[in-house]
Structure 1
Amino acid sequence: MTGGPTLGVEEEFLLLDPDTGENAPVVEKVLAALPDAVRAQSRLEFRHSMIEMVTPVCTELPELAGRLTDLRRAAATAATAAGAHLVAIGAIPVAEPVREPTDDRRFHAIARHYGPIAYDAAVCGCHVHVGVPDRETAVRVCTRLRPWLPVLQALTVNSPLYAGADTGHASWRSLQLARWPALGPVPAFASAADYDRTVALLVSSGAMLDDSMVLWYARPSVAYPTVEIRVADVCPAPADTVLLAALVRSLVATCLVDGGGLPVPDHLVTAAHWNAAHSGMDGTLLDLHAGTARPAWDVVADLVTAVQPALRRLGDARLVAAELDRVRDEGTGATRQRRALARGGIPAALAEVTVMP
């Protein structure tokens, strides 16, 4: 397939001490060890124990898979050279001795404005960008995506651990982020002008430091005609990321031609996201279309049915079906970590999500 919406992915990773599992504040060494071409695809993150890798714009899933694999391998090699492991996990699993922001003026401004919240445990997400015709369309698509984003969240839960123990939540990252204002479920907007008025008011209130602090689970890009989906924990493996990207792109493509149903009340969207972060795929999800709790995999089946025409048009239907079968068989990242935790404790759980050079 050619001519479909473009894709780009940002993946955030933790740098962990190989012996203790604690966060290792060595990002400067890791960046220095990256080849020049790969360093151009990296980003300094808020913490010294984090790094972000950014793919170029892609049009096909095999291309995206190759880019993700190459970037992970290069970053893992650089991390090893710096005495750390590159770990694809959504939140600090053991401890973070150093929580000061990296040497970036903006990060320090955020820390001053938000105070102790900015020193909460580090978290890592996966952000998928999909091209759309224009910003007005991007805002409309974000609103239409609202009922489906908890399902994507449930499929990508990958942070059950904190302080060396199981939190009881499949995505501890999502619970950690709940303290931040203007982060979480995207509100329903009637237009780009409505969106802009809301953001301006939130900046005036101080809830947002500036208009770049829009951290909702879906948002239009400030600089490009894209929709950015930010709901997922960083995924354990490139195949998990590709599955997420394929589902996101098919949802965006569907929303471009489907006006959607009635707006879902904000409190129900919030409840659906909490449900997804707590249970992942190992229980029920709040079905925002049917208005009831249902087995998680039944809700995923409804998602696939809704986007099937787009998946076929994009040439992604077979891959998505195979990858969903794999996740159903192997479990989410959170399920895999818990299985390993029961088998061999924290070292085994972290081995499940450590990226190898």
Structure 2
Amino acid sequence: MAERGTRPSVTPVPAVLTVGVEEEFLLLDPVTGESLPVADRVLGALSGHSRRQSRPEFRHSMVEMVTPVCTDLVRLRAELLALRRSAAEAATAAGARLVAVAATPVCEPHRTVPDKDRYRAMSRRYGPVAHDPAVCGCHVHVGVPDRELAVQVCNRLRPWLPVVQALSTNSPLHDGHDTGHASWRSMQFDRWPSVGPSPYFVDAADYDRTVADLIAAGVMLDAAMVYWYARPSTAYPTVEVRVGDVCPTVDDTVLVAGLIRALVATLVDEVHAGRPAPRVRNCLLAAAHWRAAHDGVDGELIDLARGGTRPAWELVEELYAVVTPALLRHGDLETVRGQLDRLRHEGTGATRQRRAMAASGGDVRAVLDRLAADTVRG
């Protein structure tokens, strides 16, 4: 039987779900590694498809590139690579480097927000939190055209997202030093009051009431400030998963996107089968995300189903097993399996940054050289 408060989807869900990705990037000084406030120049230098798929961000030293809606990972990869390379060329022309790194690695001297009413309002409301050094995420959209269904999928995503977060970790550095966290972006971003694990909602009306209450309380300025790790998108008919760091390479992004699409497809089937969403205590869920941000996949993660901690890769393989039928249905099994094996051998972006740091004797600029090359690697 379906959960109380749910209703059947009124919009048919196709066998193959669409996928799209938003990636945020830093613009760094090629010599010092400091963030450079040249986003306007970079965006202005883009043209055609790349310009249409670009977005300004909350910092003058950030740009966002957005893929079109895709139905297969081959096209998604091609779009990601083309957009990264176009943005990197524009950054070079502006005297900067486009770098796929999720937290400011050295420093950001210029932290004023762009001249937009909404950004100025955020600056006034949240004060120093709005002027933290820039962070960059990877947001994956999966087509779920029925909003009621999207809310139920988000309920079921809750226990799996720490595993996805661990796989995407790519920000161990801050102020030129290793923070001890695989994702410092997660620690820094958590200062915003509307960031965190997605709450459990009975239905879409419950979701809407909660968001309205938070806006009325002054926690959020508007519904676009729902920064939970998964949400029904405010702009598209999708489930948006926004837990991950921006990934260092397009292959890393394709892996994360492929896993998320398969997971969403699996959970859509669970909703239709009437299987209830697991009710995970919020304190344990928050702890699981902290552990994922701290260890990545190099240590242990909290097993929210059985309790305690387990080696991270055991939980990754459990996730893979759960979504294998959906990977097969979407034609993604071989790609995702190959990329998981590669990641297990190479390590996440955080692991690779630490390896490069050690090899260079602690030279952050050498790490950034590697990251800039990885950003556009084909």
Return the TM-score normalized by structure 1. 0.98
C-alpha separation in 2, matches of 1:295 and 1:224: 36
Q: Is the 8 A contact 1:336 1:352 kept in 2?
A: no
Residue aligning to 1:266 = 282
Q: Which moved more, 1:223-232 or 1:118-127?
A: 223-232
C-alpha separation in 1, matches of 2:140 and 2:152: 17
**Quick one: which of 300, 312, 316 aligns to 2:316?**
300
**Quick one: which of 332, 348, 353 aligns to 2:366?**
348
C-alpha separation in 1, matches of 2:263 and 2:184: 25
Q: Percent identity?
A: 61
Show structure 2 runs of 5+ residues with no match.
1-13
Residue aligning to 1:60 = 72
Offset at residue 257 of structure 1 (A): 1.1
Residue aligning to 2:339 = 323
Offset at residue 356 of structure 1 (A): 4.3
1:9-55 C-alpha deviation (Å, 9 max, x unpaired) = 00000000000000011011111111233111100001000000000
Deviation above 6 Å: which 4+ runs of structure 1?
A: none
Q: CA distance change for structure 1 residues 170 and 94 in 2, over 3 Å: closer, same or farther?
A: same
Q: Is the 8 A contact 2:136 2:246 kept in 1?
A: yes
**Quick one: which of 130, 137, 152 aligns to 2:164?**
152
Q: Is the 8 A contact 1:218 1:231 kept in 2?
A: yes
Whichever residue aligns with residue 365 of structure 2, its letter is: P
Offset at residue 260 of structure 1 (A): 4.8
Q: CA distance change for structure 1 residues 240 and 260 in 2, over 3 Å: closer, same or farther?
A: farther
Residue aligning to 1:310 = 326
Offset at residue 273 of structure 1 (A): 0.2
C-alpha separation in 1, matches of 2:322 and 2:277: 13
Residue aligning to 1:15 = 27
Describe how 1:37-52 pairs up with structure 2 within 5 A.
37-52=49-64
C-alpha separation in 1, matches of 2:116 and 2:327: 41
Offset at residue 261 of structure 1 (A): 4.6
Q: Secondary structure at the match of 1:229?
A: strand
1:184-207 C-alpha deviation (Å, 9 max, x unpaired) = 110011100110111111111111
Pairing 1:130–2:146 present: no
Show structure 1 runs of 5+ residues with no match.
none
Whichever residue aligns with residue 147 of structure 2, its letter is: R
**Quick one: which of 166, 170, 175 aligns to 1:163?**
175
C-alpha separation in 1, matches of 2:262 and 2:140: 12
Pairing 1:6–2:18 present: yes
Return the TM-score normalized by structure 2. 0.92
Q: Is the 8 A contact 1:5 1:59 kept in 2?
A: yes
Offset at residue 223 of structure 1 (A): 3.3
C-alpha separation in 2, matches of 1:30 and 1:224: 26
Residue aligning to 1:203 = 215
Q: Secondary structure at the match of 1:353?
A: helix
Offset at residue 224 of structure 1 (A): 2.6
Offset at residue 352 of structure 1 (A): 2.5
**Quick one: which of 200, 212, 217 aligns to 2:229?**
217
C-alpha separation in 1, matches of 2:204 and 2:304: 24
Backbone CA RMSD of aligned residues: 1.1
Residue aligning to 2:245 = 233
C-alpha separation in 1, matches of 2:237 and 2:267: 15
C-alpha separation in 2, matches of 1:332 and 1:43: 26
C-alpha separation in 1, matches of 2:22 and 2:119: 18
